[in-house]
């Protein structure tokens, strides 16, 4: 017979889980997400379950199963590795008319657990005869919902307002799941020059795409026009996605856009993104911190040079520190920056990495020193967008890439 599909609302209801191994470790967090009161019975449990018990999120009886353990339960999960114990649990649950899952024997289970998952507010559960097939279908559906390929945008309750979305440093795979979901729901998308533009190809034909990088006037003026466009489209009842590069609140003027929306009475949400300040160095194997090498990192915008009256950066402090420096918008002003850091105490042979077009197919990395970085950038013709990393962590990247070469050589014979 085909099963009858339901969504169990477990809030405040007792669920008894017998067994504390890998299956229980997967089931218990999902039961807690549904609000269940979990009683776990097992002499030993996996570390993640022990943590949940220590945090009083579940009650753990550290012993074997005993008759009577299922009393008061709405649902019982028998997931020990002993079929006899699982069978005894199932018999007890059946006798008291409580639904039960036997992890070791689907045929003897009163309930089957579907392959399930969630994309934003959509829950997906798939049951087929074959758990692997179910999981594959579940993944395909979730991917479709997240990318917008499976969208009920016109059928669902309308989402208004503005979402300021951090798109990550450029690789379309580095946007968050929530960012992609909201992008797929948008009626209008305002995008930046450094946002992951390849995601725009996935949008439906009727989505209006506005290239904010092409809005005329000077920098400050352009921002006012962007703010005005966000507000006016939202006021017209459209759901507006503002797709930005990296994280919206890291040198991204995201908070200005939030304030402009709120001042106009428009509901606004922010989706954090992978900032280029950390993601781009990582894409070139540069860790911004490393035990015993760098205990701190400083992220600095060099959109104005040291010495410029608009600069608020304390270069003396940065020159005197041994922490990693991550410099954004620094390519054109790198000579002045290097001079300043040398003046305040950094060594001329401090390693420097310059990573242009990070995470994109055109990514380029050069390694240099503080003394030579300006001429190396000129020689190599490095152009923005680029991140400059100053500090000994750059040597860790060199060590990693050397080992990768070695491992690759071994594997390819
Ligand atoms: C106006 S800031 C925006 C930063 C962004 N909000 C973030 O969190 O990554 C622009 C600067 O970010 C850096 N940047 C952004 N994307 C980059 C990429 N893919 N590769 C290298 N640098 C990048 C460059 O220094 C660029 O000049």
* Per-residue pLDDT at 93 exceeds 90: yes
Question: What percent of the chain stands above pLDDT 70?
Answer: 96
- Tell me the average pLDDT across 214-234: 81
pLDDT digits (tens, 9 = 90+) for 237-271: 999 999 999 999 999 999 999 999 999 999 999 99
Tokens of 261: 């929306």
Residues 124, 122: Cα–Cα separation, whole Å: 6
* Per-residue pLDDT at 368 exceeds 80: yes
Is the Cβ–Cβ distance between 46 and 23 less than 8 Å?
A: no
Neighbouring-strand partners of residue 324: 297
Active-site positions? 192, 214
What is the predicted pLDDT for the residue at 154?
54
Measured on CA atoms in the order 301, 303, 306, 310, is the torsion positive or negative? negative
Which residues lie below 8 Å from residue 131, measured CB to CB, with a gap of 6+?
115
Q: Tell me how far the alpha carbon of residue 324 lies from the centroid of ligand 1, in angstroms.
A: 17
Testing ligand 1's pocket by substitution, the residue of 385, 386, 389 carrying the most ligand atoms inside 8 A of its CB is 385
* Per-residue pLDDT at 213 exceeds 90: no
132-144 in b/e form (b: 16+ CB < 10 A) is eebbebbeebbee
Q: Tell me how far the alpha carbon of residue 276 lies from the centroid of ligand 1, in angstroms.
A: 5
231-242 in b/e form (b: 16+ CB < 10 A) is bebbeeebbbbb
pLDDT digits (tens, 9 = 90+) for 97-115: 999 999 999 999 999 999 9
Which of 151-165, 195-209, 323-337, 344-358 is predicted with the least confidence, judged by mean pLDDT? 151-165
Q: Tell me how far the alpha carbon of residue 398 lies from the centroid of ligand 1, in angstroms.
A: 23
Is the Cβ–Cβ distance between 233 and 155 less than 8 Å?
A: no
Closest CA to 241 of 271, 273, 206, 216: 271
Tokens of 230: 């966000």
Ligand 1 atom closest to residue 244's alpha carbon, by position in its atom list: 6
- Tell me the average pLDDT across 335-363: 97
245 lines ligand 1 (CB under 6 A): yes
What is the predicted pLDDT for the residue at 344?
97
What is the predicted pLDDT for the residue at 158?
66
Q: Tell me how far the alpha carbon of residue 172 lies from the centroid of ligand 1, in angstroms.
A: 15
Atom 16 of ligand 1, residue of closest alpha carbon: 169
Which residues lie below 8 Å from residue 147, measured CB to CB, with a gap of 6+?
180, 184, 202
Q: Tell me how far the alpha carbon of residue 116 lies from the centroid of ligand 1, in angstroms.
A: 37
pLDDT digits (tens, 9 = 90+) for 43-82: 999 999 999 999 999 999 999 999 999 999 999 999 999 9
300 lines ligand 1 (CB under 6 A): no
Which residues lie below 8 Å from residue 166, measured CB to CB, with a gap of 6+?
175, 176, 179, 244, 245, 246, 247, 248, 252, 254, 270, 271, 272, 273, 274, 275
**H-run or E-run covering 205:** none
Residues 250, 348: Cα–Cα separation, whole Å: 29
Testing ligand 1's pocket by substitution, the residue of 222, 226, 246 carrying the most ligand atoms inside 8 A of its CB is 246
**H-run or E-run covering 267:** none
Residues 82, 4: Cα–Cα separation, whole Å: 28
- Tell me the average pLDDT across 168-184: 93
Return the DSSP state at 356. Answer: E
Residues 138, 338: Cα–Cα separation, whole Å: 52
334 lines ligand 1 (CB under 6 A): no
pLDDT confidence bin for 155, thresholds 50/70/90: low
Q: Tell me how far the alpha carbon of residue 275 lies from the centroid of ligand 1, in angstroms.
A: 8
Is the Cβ–Cβ distance between 191 and 175 less than 8 Å?
A: no
247 lines ligand 1 (CB under 6 A): yes
386 lines ligand 1 (CB under 6 A): yes
Q: Tell me how far the alpha carbon of residue 385 lies from the centroid of ligand 1, in angstroms.
A: 6
213 lines ligand 1 (CB under 6 A): no
42 lines ligand 1 (CB under 6 A): no
Tokens of 173: 């795979």
Is the Cβ–Cβ distance between 355 and 364 less than 8 Å?
A: yes
Tell the burial category of 177 from Cβ atoms under 10 Å away from its Cβ (0-12, 13-18, 19+).
middle
3-state secondary structure labels for all residues of 291-329: CCCECCEEEEECCCCCCCCCCCCCHHHHHHCCCEEEEEC
What is the predicted pLDDT for the residue at 153?
59
Ligand 1 atom closest to residue 330's alpha carbon, by position in its atom list: 25
- Tell me the average pLDDT across 192-198: 90
Which residues lie below 8 Å from residue 269, measured CB to CB, with a gap of 6+?
161, 162, 163, 164, 182
250 lines ligand 1 (CB under 6 A): yes
pLDDT digits (tens, 9 = 90+) for 314-340: 999 999 999 999 999 999 999 999 999
Residues 389, 326: Cα–Cα separation, whole Å: 5
Tokens of 127: 């049951």
Indicate the pairing of strand 324-328 with strand 386-390.
antiparallel
172 lines ligand 1 (CB under 6 A): no
Ligand 1 atom closest to residue 273's alpha carbon, by position in its atom list: 8
387 lines ligand 1 (CB under 6 A): yes
Testing ligand 1's pocket by substitution, the residue of 169, 179, 194 carrying the most ligand atoms inside 8 A of its CB is 194
- Tell me the average pLDDT across 202-223: 78
């Amino acid at each position: 017979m085909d099963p009858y599909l339901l969504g169990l609302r477990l809030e405040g209801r007792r669920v008894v889980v017998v067994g504390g191994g890998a299956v229980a470790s997967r089931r218990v967090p999902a039961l807690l997400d549904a609000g269940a009161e979990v009683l776990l019975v097992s002499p030993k449990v996996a570390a993640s379950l022990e943590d949940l018990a220590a945090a009083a999120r579940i009650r753990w009886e550290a012993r074997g199963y005993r008759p009577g353990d299922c009393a008061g339960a709405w649902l019982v999960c028998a997931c020990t590795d002993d079929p006899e114990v699982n069978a005894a649990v199932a018999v007890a649950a059946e006798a008291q008319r409580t639904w039960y899952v036997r992890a070791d024997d689907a045929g003897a289970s009163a309930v089957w657990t579907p392959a399930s998952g969630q994309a934003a507010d959509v829950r997906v559960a798939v049951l087929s005869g074959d758990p692997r097939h179910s999981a594959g279908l579940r993944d395909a559906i979730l991917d479709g919902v997240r990318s917008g390929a499976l969208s009920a945008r016109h059928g669902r309750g309308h989402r208004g307002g503005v979402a300021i979305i951090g798109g990550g440093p450029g690789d379309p795979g580095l946007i968050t799941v929530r960012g992609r979901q909201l992008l797929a729901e948008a009626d209008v998308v305002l995008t930046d020059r450094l946002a992951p533009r390849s995601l725009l190809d996935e949008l439906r034909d009727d989505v209006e795409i506005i290239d904010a990088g092409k809005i005329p006037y000077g920098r400050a003026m352009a921002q006012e026009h962007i703010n005005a466009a966000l507000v006016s489209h939202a006021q017209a009842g459209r759901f507006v996605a503002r797709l930005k590069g990296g994280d919206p609140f890291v040198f991204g003027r995201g908070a200005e856009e939030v304030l402009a929306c709120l001042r106009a009475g428009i509901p606004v949400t922010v989706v954090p993104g992978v900032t280029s300040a950390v993601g781009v160095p990582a894409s070139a194997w540069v860790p911004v911190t490393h035990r015993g090498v760098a205990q701190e990192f400083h992220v600095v915008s060099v959109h104005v040079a040291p010495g410029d009256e608009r600069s608020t950066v304390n270069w003396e402090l940065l020159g005197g520190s041994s922490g990693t420096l991550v410099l954004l918008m620094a390519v054109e002003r790198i000579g002045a920056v290097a001079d300043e850091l040398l003046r305040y105490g950094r060594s001329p042979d401090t390693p420097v990495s310059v990573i242009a077009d990070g995470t994109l197919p055109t990514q380029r990395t050069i390694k240099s020193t503080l003394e030579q970085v300006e001429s190396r950038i000129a020689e190599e013709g490095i152009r923005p967008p680029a991140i400059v990393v100053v500090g000994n962590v750059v040597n860790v990247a060199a060590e990693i890439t050397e080992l990768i070469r070695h491992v690759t050589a071994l594997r390819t014979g």
